[in-house]
Amino acid sequence: MTTAEFRAATAEETRALGARLATLLAPGDLVVLSGPLGAGKTTLVQGVAEGLKVRGPITSPTFVIARVHPSLSGGPALVHVDAYRLGGTLEVDDLDLDASLEESVTVVEWGEGLVEGLSEDRLEVHLERDAEGEERRVRVTGVGPRWSELSLT
């Protein structure tokens, strides 16, 4: 398991971190985002989308649960999921995320405890926002063989 910690002072820096993470991502990758409301999960996904060069706009898919953003550059599509309203793993199974997992990059907000079974290899990203300001602390952990040799810094 590989872990790296980052700080992002603004929403723009959070997007830039997402774009940087996108350079590490490939088809079949699963990214699980966690953190409280307002921590910057969707903002980070906007950066990932920018880095992957997919069609936008990237907004929280809270009410539609999942959106597919096709590549504009021949790369993998981005499957952006918001698991906030899901009641458990059975509802995750109903989304058939494993059907598109191999050819897409799948990013799941609020996925902690729900989607880890989709892949033994994943990035777990936890975001926290400082109480006093905009700064965010971001902890990125690579889980599984895919991430064991990769430097996240």
Q: What is the pLDDT of residues 12-49, one digit of tens each?
A: 999 999 999 999 999 999 999 999 988 999 999 999 99
Name residue 81's amino acid. V
Q: How far apart are CA 146 and CA 24, in angstroms?
A: 11
Copy the structure tokens of residue 121. Answer: 């290899």
Tokens 């999921």 found at: 81
Residue 60: is it exposed, middle or buried by C-beta count within 10 angstroms (0-12/13-18/19+)? middle
Strand locations in the chain (E): 2-8, 30-34, 66-69, 77-82, 104-109, 122-129, 136-143
Residue-level pLDDT, tens digit, the chain, 153 residues:
789 999 999 999 999 999 999 999 999 999 999 999 889 999 999 999 999 999 988 887 666 677 889 999 999 999 998 877 666 555 555 555 665 668 899 999 988 887 888 889 999 999 999 877 789 999 999 999 999 877 766
pTM confidence score: 0.88
Nearest to 108, CA basis, from 60, 50, 72 = 60
The SS3 call for residue 137 is strand
